[in-house]
Chain A
Amino acid sequence: MNDQPIIEVTNLDVERSNSMVIEHATFTVNRGDYVGIVGPNGGGKTTLLLALLNIIPHTQGAIRFFNQDLTTFSQWDRIAYVSQDATNFDPQFPLTVEELVGLGRLNRTTIGRRLHQADRDAVSEALRFMGISDLSHKRIGELSGGQKQRVFVAKALVRNPEILILDEPIAGIDASMLEGFYKKLSDLNAQKGITILLVSHDLTAVFCRMSKVICVNREVNIESITKDTDPNKLLKKAYGEHFHFVFHEHTCQGVFNHA
């Protein structure tokens, strides 16, 4: 991890259906950060991501990726995004895992041309990294929830992104698969140096595994996570004064032992 900023948000306002969802958000994400985005339902976590990705417009403020303003930014190949409803597809859709992950290689330069051997190699590598090579010829409608999530992360990884943005990726993953999934994300962050932003309601995972946390509930607060961090001080800002997250020095022990 270093202090090279790759996402800079300044005084950002975002409205949806004429009501303010994000107000005066200012934060910076550095290269190599592993950021958990938390907050109550309807607090604006997904809206924040969609605004960052220019899928919805912002009403005020500035967003910069890699020192370039969003209005002129075009290097979307460097960013991969898995939406919260990515896995809610028609199970009858005739796609194999390999074909779906291959779609992740598409960009402006691949329009109208066949995928090359390098593209196929990248697909194999992404499947291997996510531990799902054996599923490559399986239809996506036949996968379990955990397998689907891994496939969509592989689809994102196949672009070799520098930033990976995941919106509630653990929905549908059972407890036995969860550990392995987080392990893969930690490996991506530590081994490949990919900056990860992950929306999650799993506060234990956020405070035990990630390097920064962004709390969103209209207001946006960011803080680095260290062993001295008091999660409740931060979480109360988003969840309200009555919220209490039971967290003590041993909370993360089991998590790290399994990781």
Chain B
Amino acid sequence: MHELVIDVLQLLGYQFFQHALLGGIVAAVACTGIGLFLILRKEAMIADGISHTAFGGIALGLLLGVYPLITALFVSILAVLGISYLKRKGLAQSDSAIAVMLALGFSTGLIILSLVKGFNVELFSYLFGSILTINQVDLLTVFLLGFTTILFLGLFYKELLAITFDEQSAKLTGIPTGVFTLGFNLLVATTIVLSIKIIGIILVVALIVLPGLTALQLRRSFRQTLFASFGFGGVSVFLGIFLSAWFDVAASGVIVILAVVFFIIVALYRRLR
């Protein structure tokens, strides 16, 4: 026990570990906040679609020698706007529009990959996350995007809640629903991009969906559900980072497994009560 405490304190002393914890917690709060709204809007798969589309952006950034999260953000925003356009014009339903953008982004990434060899290792870190290797630029990006998301949610959560519950009614009260929906969709893109370094393109949807889904099992008020999802997401990331360092395994995998374990425990608790 004594050794464990010393090891934990030692880990906390490393700058890379502090970066991982800070970035991870910010990403967890942003992801779970956005995620709860996505679940309630029944649009959780948009997170998966956008994250796979971001793959094309990452590949483009590596190809052009530009910071890949910038190009990923640009491509993700285009994808969000594309999905909105396809839906608005009646060209595709939500799930089909997401599938179109996912396929377009991912195939673009694959073509770039096959044309240019040599950055497969770096790409691997974006696909599966590399939280323990995030540098100061990554951390700054996570903070900038994360706090933008958290600030937006903090200021406008009432309006987002009203739109999520009943868009027509919200519109009648004078809330500019179109502006808020666009803003929210842009934040989905932002949140996914900021989480890519933390948990990776493949698993980001898990951090967005699982904590909110777990919190919903508790059947509490909206405010309590939101804070519970922050809690489940934050603890999954916090513990996940420690355990991955401890056992020297992939952090993103551990974080997701922990989030799944929390979901199972809470779901079982609900059934047994």
Binding site for B on A (CB under 8 A): 53, 55, 74, 76-77, 79, 81, 83, 86, 89-90, 92-96, 98-100, 102-104, 106-108, 110-112, 115, 137, 139, 159
Shortest B237–chain A CB gap in Å is: 22
Do B222 and A110 have beta carbons less than 8 Å apart? no
For chain B residues 134-162, which have a beta carbon within 8 Å of chain A?
155-156, 158-159, 161-162
Closest 10 CB pairs of A and B: A94-B225, A108-B174, A96-B221, A107-B174, A103-B162, A112-B155, A94-B222, A106-B173, A95-B222, A107-B173
- Interface contact B174-A76, CB-CB below 8 Å: yes
Q: Is B63 among interface residues, defined by CB-CB distance under 8 A?
A: no
CA A98 to CA B222, docked complex, whole Å? 11
Is B165 in the interface zone, CB < 8 Å from A?
yes
Of all chain A residues, the one with the shortest Cβ separation from B226 is A94
* A89 and B166 contact, Cβ closer than 8 Å, known pairs A110-B158, A112-B155, A112-B156: yes
Residue from B158, B166, B170, B224 having most chain A Cβ neighbours under 10 A: B158
Chain A hits for B162, CB < 8 A? 103, 106
Q: Is the CB of A100 within 8 A of B165?
A: yes
Given contacts A99-B222, A106-B158, 20 further A-B contacts (CB under 8 A): A55-B168, A77-B174, A79-B172, A81-B169, A83-B166, A86-B169, A92-B216, A93-B40, A94-B222, A94-B225, A95-B221, A96-B221, A100-B165, A103-B162, A107-B174, A107-B175, A108-B174, A110-B158, A111-B159, A139-B220
- C-alpha spacing A92/B42, complex, angstroms: 12
Kindly list chain B residues whose C-beta atoms are within 8 Å of the C-beta of A111: 156, 159, 175
Measuring CB to CB, which residues of chain B are less than 8 angstroms from any residue of chain A? 40, 155-156, 158-159, 161-162, 165-166, 168-175, 215-216, 219-225
A81 to chain B: closest CB distance in Å? 6
Docked Cα-Cα span, A116 to B155, in Å, equals 14
* A94 pairs with B175, CB closer than 8 A: no
Given contacts A94-B225, A139-B219, contact A103 B158 (CB under 8 A): yes
Whose C-beta in chain B lies nearest to the C-beta of A115?
B158
List, in ascending order, chain B residues with CB within 8 A of A92's CB.
Answer: 216, 219
Task: Determine the chain A residues whose CB is within 8 A of the CB of B170 once the complex forms.
Answer: 103, 106
Q: A94-B222, A99-B221, A99-B222 are known contacts. Are A86 and B166 too (CB-CB below 8 A)? A: yes
Evaluate contact between A94 and B169: CB separation under 8 angstroms.
Answer: no
Q: Which of B155, B171, B221 contacts A94 (CB 8 A)?
A: B221
Bound-state Cα–Cα, A223 to B159, Å: 40
A258 to B44, CA, bound (A): 50
- In angstroms, Cα B224 to Cα A102, docked, is 16
Q: With a CB–CB cut-off of 8 A, which chain A residues contact B173? A: 76-77, 104, 106-107, 159
- Per DSSP, chain B at the interface is helix
Task: Tell me the number of A-to-B contacts counted with CB atoms below 8 Å.
Answer: 76
**Minimum C-beta distance from A75 to chain B (A):** 9
Q: Are A95 and B165 in contact (CB under 8 A)?
A: yes
Contact (A81, B172) CB under 8 Å given A94-B219, A95-B222? yes
- CB pair A94 B220 closer than 8 Å: yes
Chain B residue nearest to A165 (CB atoms) is B172
Cβ–Cβ < 8 Å partners of B175 in chain A: 106-108, 111
CA–CA, A115 and B161, complex, Å = 14
CA distance A110 to B159 in the complex (A): 9
CA distance A100 to B165 in the complex (A): 9
In the assembled complex, the CB of A199 is this many whole angstroms from the nearest CB of chain B, namely: 16
CB distance from A160 to the nearest CB of B (A): 13
User: Could you show 20 A-B contacts with beta carbons less than 8 Å apart?
Assistant: A55-B168, A55-B172, A77-B173, A83-B166, A83-B169, A89-B166, A90-B40, A93-B40, A95-B222, A96-B222, A98-B221, A99-B223, A103-B165, A103-B170, A106-B159, A107-B175, A108-B175, A110-B158, A111-B156, A139-B221
Let me know if A94 and B216 touch, CB within 8 A: yes
What's the Cα separation between A76 and B169 when bound, in Å?
11
Q: Kindly state the separation between the CA atoms of A137 and B220 in the bound complex, as whole angstroms.
A: 9
**CB-based nearest B residue for A142:** B219
Interface contact A83-B168, CB-CB below 8 Å:
yes
B259 CB, min distance to chain A CBs, angstroms: 19
- Bound form: Cα–Cα A86–B170 in Å: 12
Residue in chain B with minimal CB distance to A155: B169
Q: A208 to chain B: closest CB distance in Å?
A: 30
